[in-house]
């Protein structure tokens, strides 16, 4: 009996991966096909980008502040508090900025996509769209993918900048360090590969968030309970894949650029 259960679970997982790959592939093909629903893209960009801005700013600021607070106390043991700015800027731009911003957006928007599309599925609105000759993947999925990728890119830049400013606030106001030295070391330590890594990650993470949220929304079954289940699964799966993808992207950049 356990073997039969394991076999069923494995088949279900493989079918889920297959359905996700098909949905993602069809959505990517729709990027180059008319019509282009620009109004939907702008609407989603406003919901995803502007709507997520306050939580991204708060998360970035306090993350940078905590980094400066913890690192300064540790670096003081070695007389190296002057490199606090370098540590905060590298950590925010390469790792914490993209990952934490993506997790915040995932919790807010992957769940929203799954809930919205799931509700449309169980109320047969998507079936009605197909009956009227409208492709749901073109109308519903493609705008969400484009908007999430573009807006997460800029949200990550905002998070990085605010995080470095948060570290500067803690370093100069609370710890009494020289703010000019902080910004000088924060800027001087960055190289091309660091910035490139920090900007490549949100593109990959935005694609993951949008496709996972849309997949669980479009595959919702079972009424209102199914909508709740899809919402939870979308956030959990997207978060896990983001963290796993972050590991592999970091490893690739370390292998290629050596840092």
Cα-Cα-Cα-Cα dihedral sign, residues 138, 144, 148, 151: positive
60 burial (CB, 10 Å; 0-12 / 13-18 / 19+) is buried
> Within a domain: residue 145?
yes
Number of domains in the chain: 1
Tell me the pTM: 0.89
How many CB atoms neighbour CB 175 within 10 A? 16
> Within a domain: residue 16?
no
Q: Which of 231, 217, 245, 246 is nearest to 106 (CA)?
A: 231
pLDDT the model gives residue 3? 53
Tell me whether the omega of the peptide bond preceding residue 141 falls within 30 degrees of 0, making it cis.
no
> Within a domain: residue 18?
no
Determine the 3-state secondary structure of 44 from DSSP: helix
pLDDT the model gives residue 2? 58
Q: Could you give the CA distance from residue 236 to residue 69 in angstroms, rounded to a whole number?
A: 30
Range of the domain at 103: 37-257
> Within a domain: residue 75?
yes
Q: Are the C-beta atoms of 126 and 225 separated by less than 8 Å?
A: no
pLDDT the model gives residue 63? 93
> Within a domain: residue 32?
no
pLDDT the model gives residue 47? 87
Q: Are the C-beta atoms of 123 and 221 separated by less than 8 Å?
A: no
Q: Could you give the CA distance from residue 6 to residue 71 in angstroms, rounded to a whole number?
A: 46
Q: Which of 192, 193, 202, 200 is nearest to 100 (CA)?
A: 202
Q: Could you give the CA distance from residue 159 to residue 138 in angstroms, rounded to a whole number?
A: 31
> Within a domain: residue 211?
yes
Q: Which of 11, 6, 4, 17 is nearest to 211 (CA)?
A: 17
> Within a domain: residue 242?
yes
> Within a domain: residue 3?
no
pLDDT the model gives residue 1? 42
How many CB atoms neighbour CB 244 within 10 A? 11
Q: What is the pLDDT along the chain (259 residues), one digit of tens a residue?
A: 455 577 777 788 888 888 888 888 888 888 887 778 888 888 888 888 888 899 999 999 999 999 988 888 787 777 777 788 888 899 999 999 999 999 999 988 888 888 888 888 888 888 888 888 788 888 888 889 999 999 999 999 999 999 999 999 988 888 888 888 888 888 888 888 889 999 999 999 999 999 999 999 888 887 778 888 888 999 999 999 999 999 999 999 999 887 7
Q: Are the C-beta atoms of 37 and 143 separated by less than 8 Å?
A: yes
* Helices of type H across the chain: 2-30, 38-45, 51-75, 84-91, 97-105, 111-122, 125-131, 136, 142-169, 179-188, 192-218, 223-257
């Amino acid at each position: 009996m356990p073997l039969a259960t394991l076999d069923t679970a494995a088949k279900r997982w493989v079918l889920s991966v297959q359905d996700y790959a098909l949905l993602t592939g069809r959505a990517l093909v729709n990027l180059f096909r008319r019509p282009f629903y620009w109004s939907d893209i702008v609407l989603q960009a406003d919901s995803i980008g502007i709507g997520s801005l306050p939580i991204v700013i708060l998360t970035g600021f306090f993350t940078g502040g905590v980094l400066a607070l913890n690192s300064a106390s540790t670096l003081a043991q070695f007389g190296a508090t002057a490199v606090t700015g370098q540590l905060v800027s590298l950590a925010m731009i390469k790792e914490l900025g993209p990952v934490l911003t993506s997790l915040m957006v995932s919790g807010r928007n992957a769940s929203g996509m799954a809930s919205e599309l799931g509700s449309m599925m169980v109320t047969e609105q998507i079936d009605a769209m197909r009956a009227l000759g409208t492709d749901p993947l073109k109308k519903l999925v493609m705008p969400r993918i484009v908007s999430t990728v573009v807006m997460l890119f800029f949200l990550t830049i905002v998070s990085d900048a605010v995080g470095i400013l948060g570290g500067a606030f803690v370093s100069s106001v609370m710890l009494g360090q020289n703010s000019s030295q902080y910004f000088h070391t924060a800027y001087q330590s960055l190289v091309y590969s660091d910035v490139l890594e920090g900007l490549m990650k949100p593109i990959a993470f935005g694609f993951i968030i949008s496709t996972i949220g849309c997949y669980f929304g479009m595959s919702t079954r079972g009424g209102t309970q199914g909508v709740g289940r899809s919402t939870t699964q979308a956030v959990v799966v997207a978060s896990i894949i983001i963290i796993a993808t972050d590991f592999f992207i970091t490893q690739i950049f370390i292998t290629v650029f050596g840092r």
